[in-house]
Chain A
Amino acid sequence: MIPVIKNPHRGRLLIKGGRVIDPRQNLDQVTNILIENGKVLSIGHHLDTPANTPTLDATNSVVAPGLVDVHVHLREPGGEAKETIATGTRAAAAGGVTSVVSMPNTNPPMDNVADIQFVISRAAQEGMVRVYPTGTISKGRLGQELSEIGAMASVGCVAITDDGSEVMNSQLFRRALEYTKTFNLIVMDHCEDVNLMGDGVMNDGALATRLGLAGIPRQAEYTMVARNIALAELTGGRLHLTHMSVKESVELIRQAKAKGLHVTADVTPHHLILTEEAVQEYKSNAKVNPPLRTMEDVTALRKGLKEGVLDCVASDHAPHTQSEKLQEFSNAPFGLIGLETMLPLIITELVKPGYLTLSEMILRMSDLPARLFNLPAGTLEPGSNADIVIFDPEAKQTFTHFVSRSQNSPFLGWQLNGVVERTLVGGQTVYERSAASAKPHPSPL
């Protein structure tokens, strides 16, 4: 179900002279894109356009399908002080993200049709980018009884997840994987043994000992990755493992894929870039779940992404207010914001050093996540939605403030390569760097 576009761009728009990268079309060349009524009409050097066609000059920029982020906390309802659908989708637009999959651990948790419809209607009223809601696996996110999954699917829920915590009851998780098959729904899982996690607040090990903080052992993640894969094997269900953080998980997923199981996975920019050292001095903006791990894990995650064992990059954008984060480390909530930094982080830390090409980056941040979640996005093929990001991969910027309502980022103050110049949804500009501080753009949805 495609979020309704109330106000797609009318008429034609030509994006001229940009380096167009679209892995699904195996395209990486300087060319032009013609948009008509919110859809891509054609791509080519010599497009038949009247001289008065509105034109965007994208010379020296990359033009790519808008990013697709399958793990975003928009916090509405219940957490409006942290983020709303309006502010979160503006942050997405600023980050070049045109489709977000929103998490259901709101307050109350999204475990029924009305909640899913609320997100869809709210996004239609106030959203700047396309929002695809997920529902919970279990009623109340309590891990005891299945939510009304089929009903939620019928109104536009794209996946189910109890994200934020694990479904510890293996029988329930098995049933979820079985039941969703009928509805072609993905079961997305957080992968963390809650008992093993205990009251842990960071990676277990010497640094946790030095800081006197309770650790979360890596086994808390990969025992659940192993269990979930086993249950995917049992059921033939469609399993997506989110925010993988340890090298052992990568190996388990590699084996699962080799067996032909329907298992996919994502990884966050922060787990690809930071290690546990980021929490030194009790920096709560680096307190995240799963916790930042070690250099060995970072290396394994990067390799896993390069090889496609990890299918895509997702931000796990998790806004929290400053006063919540400005607490004792063990009392501060887990999570960091990521929508606005994901593209420059991947460019700076993975593309520039040669781990990924720009085309592989678009594959992992747009094309594949769209395909995994069956979203009408991730390509600029003629006829597809004109959801587009235009960015300069060389330009530098230093993050000192975010569009998101929350500012909890460990990357504050980082100078990064890669500047989003313009984001379009349905052919309409939803973010423009030069106008970022000027008037807000009207919602296209």
Chain B
Amino acid sequence: MKKDTARLKDLLGLEYLSRAQIEELLDQAKPMKQLFTRSVKKAPALRGKTVALVFFEPSTRTRTSFELAAKRLSADTLNIAASTSSVQKGESLIDTAKTLDAMKVDYIVLRHSASGAPHLVAREVKARVINAGDGSHEHPTQGLLDAFTIIEKKGKIDGLKVAILGDVAHSRVARSNLWVLTKLGAHVTVCAPETLIPPGLKEIFGSHVTITSHVDEAVKDADVINVLRLQVERQKENLMPSIREYAELFGLNLSRLALAKRDCIVLHPGPMNRGVEITSEVADSHQSVVLDQVTNGIAIRMSVLYWLTGHPLLDGGATAEQTLTQSEKLS
């Protein structure tokens, strides 16, 4: 129970977390979800802390989710979007981050188009850095919320057959999913046109992963299907002949979904390209859990924010709820 659950300064990726650390984060998210699904949505656990939401890429879902997570733990939030900040005046990422650090923010939640940008910032600042998606690298809170949603619906991850469909090569969601799911014992089948499968997946994930370009094979008997968003610009890079062909050959529709287990759930990180990687019939079916993912995202982000303080939530005599409502503990 105690092994390898050391807290880290930053959350840069799920690759760097042990199974025990991941399980702790997922377990903590349960009381968080209970907290804000009650009528009173707020606990004072992070009162007096400041969370800077630094988004260098457009994002609604992840940014608002982090903002709500921070607010529901009573932290103050600060929104910085690249389009309205001194980045427009040519300020470097490091200078922006150091400026925030000098303002004594406690957390920097960073979304950036360059892989490794959060690593660069984390090395240079005292604030805790949370990766909210970096380039094609990782989107750790997405991976965690996907795992949380799967556990909520399936009771476990160990032994499940999960299919990830789509542009794995450029997807940070895919990488974070691969790390969390394989660490928790799932078997993951990755499916995309050969042009969108990155090299070395077998080398990295070994027998935990199967690779195919045939959707029917990938979804057959699957417990979970996670459909990735296709960036339509990829077509210009000759990674696929056309969006129409992609939808037809690699998209998830009802007839393909029927090959999966009867109780298979469908995840999508959003925003969806309806009619491209997923048909509306699938997106709106009872098997789709995309809205649960959105709700759970807030719980996971609360869990991550709290976890990085280093304070125990589930240990000791107090219940999680009691711990969360005792503000003095952290101030």
Contact = CB atoms under 8 A, between A and B. Distances in A.
Interface of A: 204-215, 281-282, 323, 326-331
B116 interface: yes
Given A282-B119, A326-B94, A208 B114 contact: no
B254 to A, nearest CB: 32
A137 B261 CA distance: 62
A323 B90 CA distance: 12
Given A212-B172, A329-B120, A331-B114, 12 more contacts: A206-B201, A207-B200, A208-B198, A209-B199, A210-B200, A212-B175, A282-B115, A323-B92, A326-B92, A328-B93, A329-B114, A330-B116
Contact of A212 (B94, B115, B201): B115
Given A212-B134, A212-B137, A328 B117 contact: yes
B138 interface: yes
B199 A330 contact: no
B92 A211 contact: no
Residue of B92, B114, B135 with highest tally of chain A CB at under 10 A: B114
Contacts of A205: 199-200, 203
Contacts of B116: 211-213, 281-282, 328-330
A329 B198 contact: no
A206 B206 CA distance: 12
Contact of A213 (B15, B120, B136, B204): B136
A326 B120 contact: yes
B128 interface: no
A326 B175 CA distance: 25
A331 B94 CA distance: 13
Interface string B1-33: 000000000000001000000000000000000
Given A328-B112, A330-B135, A331-B114, A209 B201 contact: yes
B137 to A, nearest CB: 3
A119 to B, nearest CB: 31
A204 B199 CA distance: 7
Contact of B115 (A206, A323, A326, A329): A329
Interface of B: 15, 92-94, 112, 114-117, 119-120, 134-138, 172, 175, 198-201, 203-204
A210 B204 contact: yes
A282 B136 contact: no
B84 to A, nearest CB: 20
Contact of B120 (A210, A214, A282): A282
B258 to A, nearest CB: 32
A326 B93 CA distance: 9
B119 to A, nearest CB: 5
Nearest to B122: A281
Of all A-B residue pairs in the complex, the 4 with the closest CB atoms, nearest first, are A206-B200, A212-B137, A282-B116, A328-B114
A331 B172 CA distance: 18
A211 B114 contact: no
A390 B134 CA distance: 49
B115 A330 contact: yes
Contacts of B93: 327-328
Contacts of B114: 328-331
Most interface-central of A208, A210, A327 (chain B CB within 10 A): A210
Nearest to A209: B198
B117 A206 contact: no
Contacts of A215: 199
Nearest to A282: B116
A226 to B, nearest CB: 22
A211 B15 CA distance: 10
A34 to B, nearest CB: 54
B136 A212 contact: yes
A213 B94 CA distance: 20
28 contacts: A205-B199, A205-B200, A206-B200, A206-B204, A208-B199, A209-B199, A209-B200, A209-B201, A210-B15, A211-B115, A211-B116, A212-B134, A212-B136, A212-B137, A212-B138, A212-B172, A213-B136, A214-B136, A323-B92, A327-B120, A328-B112, A328-B115, A328-B116, A328-B117, A328-B120, A329-B114, A330-B114, A331-B114
Contact of B135 (A206, A210, A212, A323): A212
Residue among A204, A208, A211 facing the most chain B CB atoms (10 A cut-off):
A211
A212 B135 CA distance: 7
Contacts of A326: 92, 94, 120
A209 B116 CA distance: 12
A243 to B, nearest CB: 23
Contacts of B92: 323, 326-327
B190 to A, nearest CB: 11
A156 B175 CA distance: 53
A252 to B, nearest CB: 23
A180 to B, nearest CB: 36
A331 B114 CA distance: 8
B172 to A, nearest CB: 6
A207 B15 CA distance: 12
